[in-house]
Structure formats: C-alpha cells, structure tokens
Chain A
Amino acid sequence: MIGADLLDRRLLVVSGKGGVGKTTVSAALARAAARTGRAVLLAEVEGRGGISRLLGAPPPGFEEPRTRLGFAVTSITPREALVEYLRLFFGMRTLSRTLARAKVLETATEGIPGFRDLMTAGKLYELTEWRRVPANADGRRRYDLVVVDAPPTGQLVSMLKAPGAFLDILRMGRPHRQLESIDRMVRRHAGIVLVAIPEEMSVAESLDTAEALRAEGMACHAVVANRVLPSAFPKGTRAAALRLEPKALAAILGEAGVEATEEDGAALLEAARAQDGRARAQRDHLAALAGAGPVTELPFLFTPTFGPPEVDALARELVP
C-alpha cells in the first residue's frame, strides 16, 4: 500500500530504469486514484504508445480521452506543447499554425538542449495548475491528479531541472515568471515515484537517482517495487524441496496419477529451485531498495495476458 498522502498531490512523476514497468505502474497509480473518485489524467511523455498498448485503446494523441479504467489519457509531445504555448500565451494563432507545419520546429525541439524537457514541463504546468484558474479553463477538463509516465531515470533529473536551467537564459518578462512557476511546481509540489524491479541494476539506478534528486533539493516520495516474486516454497516445504531427488518426485507424481519420468522430475525441481533462488535474491535487493525511499511492493502477476484487468489488480494492491 502506498503512502496515504501521495494521491493528494496534483502531479505524480513516475520514472524508473527502462523495462521495469513504468507504464504499468503509472496506469495502476492512475487507476487507484480514479477508484477514490478523483478526476485523473495519465500523461505519457514522448511515449511510444505504451499506454495504448497496455490498455488496448487507440493512441490518445494530444486529446484527453477517457478510458474504461475511469481515468483520462493523453500523450505529450514537445512540438504540440510548444504550439499550444504560443497560442495560449502570445495569441499567435496563425503563427503557431504556420510553425506546426514547419520542419524548423522539429529541429528546435530536437536540437536545443533541454528544450523538449522544458516544453513537457510547461504542458504539465498547464494541465495541473494553469487551467485550474477559472478564467483560463475555457472548457478544459480539470483534474485532481495528473500522473506522468515520465522518461527513464537517466533523463529524469535533467527533465525536472530544465525549467530552472532556462531561468538563467530567459532572464526577464513573462516567460521568466512562467518558468518560475513551473520550476516551483516541479520542485515543490510534484510527487516523484521511482519504479524498480528487485534486481541489481534497477536497484542501483534507483539509489543513484534518489541521491541525484536529493542533491538537487528534491526527493523521491515513493518507490514501487514491481514484479516481486512469491516465495516458491511455502513454509515448511523448502527443506523437503531441496532434499527431494528427481526420481522420488517422479514417484510421488506417479502415485498421484500423473505420469512423469525422472527427467520431468529433474526439470520441475530445477525450475522451482531457480525461482526460489530468484525470490530469495529479490529479498536482499528489496532491503537495499529501501535506501531510495518508502517501498511499496507489487506482486509479479502470473497471467497469460497483461491488460486492464491486471492494471486494476495492481491498483488494488497500491490502495486496497
């Protein structure tokens, strides 16, 4: 179960090493918050369709369609964020349309260091803070919580730092004040969630990231340990399982009416012992992971498919 106040924040930034299940955990957090009656948006940043693949829904684009898990989804791209920004704050309706078609915009967002991150942060500010002001709302949906499926940990700190970094460059005027607000939102109000799997590399990267966040005056508010294995051998069976010979196991199976060779017995024992070893190694990694922040464990789901029902099951683990 996650900390009670985590879902009270307006913005949760979810990151982790590649391949640990960031998108799944982001969706589970969004689902958990939606179940409490909150209006929730799950935003994918520079995503490659992970959310739509997971939920079996069409790619959301820059729109904010609702999903059958009770939250809305969107996909933030720096290009569209920039066009929207120019339109909203500078009334550059025609210009933004012209720019949207120009290749130059692509090069700008690709080329200027930190620019993509800045545009993303700006869009998050629009979603979580700016549109909450009634005068700005203009029919936009208000959300109690925005959950961001953020880039991997390697890029997390630079993404969070981008608004502050541009403060040095844009030293005055309206953009400067906006940057200050965005920087404040990211640094003070966002909840940062690191997703890890209980393996060496992922744990090491989580610890490094938590440290890097601290060094920048930020914090990791929650760690979600994903894919935690159950113990292979329930209480009182482990010693017997380690003792058991393939032949004896095959005999027990035979008595129970399941025809099995000695090789079958060996394969079963090998598989179960390997999983026992993995589960035990995970306990050590989980202990180390606590150094990054308060850990919530999510079980490995042994299901032949992985989609909305599994997201819902994980959401119920996060908030029963």
Chain B
Amino acid sequence: MTLGLAGRRIVVVCGSGGVGKTTVSAAIATTLARKGARTVVMAVDPAKRLATSLGLPHEPGERSTVDAGGGATLEALLLDTKRTFDELVERHAGSPERRDHILENRFYQRIAATLSGTYEYMAMERLYELATSEDWEAIVIDTPPTRSALSFLDAPRRMTDFLGGKMFRWLAWPSRAAGRAGMRGASMGARVLSRTVGRIAGTDLLTDTAEFLAAFDGMYEGFKQRAADVYALLSEEETGFVVVTAPERASLDEAGHFVERLTSSKMHLAGVVVNRWVRAPAIAAPSETIEELAGGSAEHRATAACLEVAERMRAIEARGRAAVEPFGAAYPEIPLTVVPELPLDVHDREGLDMVAGHLFGRAVETPEAREAR
C-alpha cells in the first residue's frame, strides 16, 4: 500500500531510533517538491554522506536549497535548539531587562541545553513558526532520535509542567520563603519536599532556580499559550503523522504505542512505513541440491551460493513477517507501506528516489515533465 498524503500540508515523520526516519522524510520532501509544492524539510541529524550528496546544511540553524530532481528544488534546514529557545524567551520576555536576565541565568543555560524534551519541544516550536509565519505548501519534519517516539508528543506538556508546575514552585519555595515566618499555606507535600531538598541539596541548588523562576514569572502564561497553539496545530487535519518502523518487534511495539497515542490525542495518522523489509527470492532448492551444486564447476558453486543467500533471506523474511503480523492484527485499519531493504545505504538522490518509488508507488513526475509529455 502506498503512502497517502492528500490534504496534508505538514508531515511529521516519527519512529524509534535507527529505523530510517531521515531517509523517509527526505524522500517524502523531494517527492512533494517534485509534485510542485513549495517544500521545506527540517532535518535533525542527517548522515554526512547523504547531507553532502544532497547539499543539506551541516550546522544547526543553517538553511540551504536542495535539488529535488527534475528541475524542482526544496529548502532544507537544521534545527538549532538553543537559538530557538532563546528566540522563544525573547518573544515572551516583554522587556529587554527580563530577556537578558533569563538568557544570562545559569539555570536557564543548563535547561536550554539539557532539559529532557527540550530538543523535541524546540522542533515543534520551529515547526509552528514555519507553518504560521512562512509561506510553505509542504512542511516535512524529521523528529529527533529519541528513545521513545512518544516523547515527541509529550514534550510540550513536560515543558509546561516543569516551567509552570508545582514542582518548580516548590523547589524555589524555600529560598523565596526565607525570612518569612512559618510554613502556613504550604501544603504537606511542599513542606516535605522542601525539607528534603534542603537536607540533601542545601539551598545552593535553589538559588539559581529561584532567580530563573522569578524572571520567568509572568512569562509563563504566554509560554503556555504558545505550547497550546503548537499542540493545536499538530491536531489539525492538515497535519499528518508518518510512523516509521523496522520489521522488528521492539520497533513495531513502539509504533503501536505511538499510533494509539495519536488516536487518543485526536491527531491524524497518515500511515505506517515498514522500512528495510527483507523479501527473499521465490525460488528455493532442497539442501541436498545446494550441496551437490557446491561441489561442481565455478558456475555451479556460484549458483549454490545464490541459493544459500536466498535461504538466509527467507529466515529473515519469516522473522519480519512474525513481527509485522501481530501489528496488522491489532490495527487492521492502518495502512502499511513497505519499503524493501535496498542494496546499499541510501546516500544520494538515486537512493532517495528508490525509497520514494516504494513510498508512493511510482516515480513522481515534475509538472514540467508532465507538460513536456
């Protein structure tokens, strides 16, 4: 079954690590560009050879124009997490003083780089910007390599939970309350936690945090609204998620979780791509025949070797089938698009075109080529 992206302006490509998300998103983007759409792709961590051969940017924050083949081009950009976060702060800071106060805060500098989910959230933030303030007809987003595909969807909630959440306030509470008498008003949980943190960490940890929190106060509402807008964009009909998986149980389990999460979040699944599927040649010979051939002339031995390769592939095909079948049974209504394992790593346009051919069923013509015909 081929991948249906009709009506989708935004395509979010996700899946667990190592399944070929970057290749699939590049193949989707070049296909959409060749169909005539003004296309932008946000790459996360493309392989160097692929990046070099396509002319993708190498440094975070960079943009480049990429030849999509057949006279079409598309724009590619690499996410710069820190800069995106800084811009977000600038937008919501309200005053230059507050902005500088936050940007220079040690705690901010740490979370901007390391807070779990920052990367994912900034990818979404960047997507929102591309979708709302630039004029694109097709936006393809490759998601960061996370342990779990789900963490991409959880990122905004986690960010706002953390920045606005009670936990954060509790952490900052002891230093804010210093000088104030008593603990009236603080809940039992807050009291317990602040005592624990104080006992274990001392108040050192809290100073930077409290300063950051003070500066962040008042900015939080805007921040939260923005996160809600990003989430709303992801739920719109024009946004389609493509889940990429390897034909392996772990990867398919992950894909299943993701599909369920999309459904419960009222987001739209465009399709599931089973990448690098091994399909063995149909012909098989009994092992005695292979043995017999292996004792013959060079041609006979070569034939035996070919048959042996086919046998090995058959075992792997069976393994893939055993992994995919339960998924198909659990989600019978979900279309699966199978991309076979290609002879070599996909590292250039030719390889991408092969992937695109499997995704969309045929070589995609450019409007110019169609006219010429």
Contacts and interface: CB of A to CB of B under 8 A. Distances in A.
A53 B249 contact: yes
Interface string A85-99: 010001010010011
Q: Which of B18, B158, B297, B343 has the most CB of A within 10 A?
A: B18
B215 interface: no
A198 to B, nearest CB: 10
Contacts of A248: 299
Contact of B306 (A90, A199, A249, A305): A249
Contact of B303 (A172, A200, A249, A270): A249
Contacts of B297: 240
Contacts of B319: 303-306
Nearest to A19: B18
Nearest to A274: B343
Contact of B168 (A111, A154, A172): A111
A240 B299 contact: yes
B205 A169 contact: yes
Given A53-B253, A152-B17, A278-B343, A175 B200 contact: yes
Q: Which of A50, A204, A240 has the most CB of B within 10 A?
A: A240
The secondary-structure label for the interface of chain A is helix
Contacts of A252: 293, 299-300, 303
B344 A278 contact: yes
Interface in B305-360: 305-307, 309-313, 315-316, 318-319, 322, 343-345, 347
Nearest to B342: A274
Given A48-B148, A173-B202, A258-B289, A267 B283 contact: yes
Contacts of A218: none
B310 A114 contact: no
Contacts of B65: none
Interface residues of B, number: 73
B285 A258 contact: yes
A92 B205 CA distance: 21
Q: How large is the interface on A (under 10, 10 to 19, 20 to 34, 35 or more residues)?
A: 35 or more
Contacts of B316: 302, 304
Interface string A230-257: 0011101111110010001100110011
A268 B313 CA distance: 11
The secondary-structure label for the interface of chain B is helix
B180 interface: no
B103 interface: no
Interface in B223-263: 246, 249-251, 253-254
Contacts of A102: 189
A268 B290 CA distance: 14
A236 B302 CA distance: 9
A99 to B, nearest CB: 7
Contact of A237 (B17, B111, B301, B322): B301
Nearest to A48: B148
Given A271-B310, A275-B309, 20 more contacts: A18-B19, A48-B253, A95-B192, A107-B165, A110-B161, A111-B167, A113-B110, A170-B202, A237-B301, A248-B299, A249-B303, A249-B306, A252-B299, A252-B303, A253-B303, A256-B285, A258-B289, A302-B312, A303-B315, A304-B316
29 contacts: A18-B17, A18-B147, A23-B250, A95-B192, A95-B196, A98-B192, A104-B170, A104-B189, A107-B166, A111-B165, A113-B114, A151-B147, A170-B204, A172-B202, A200-B47, A201-B47, A204-B48, A234-B305, A240-B298, A256-B285, A256-B293, A267-B281, A267-B283, A268-B283, A269-B306, A271-B281, A272-B306, A275-B309, A277-B344
Would you list the 3 A-B pairs with minimal beta carbon distance, nearest first? A18-B17, A19-B18, A107-B167
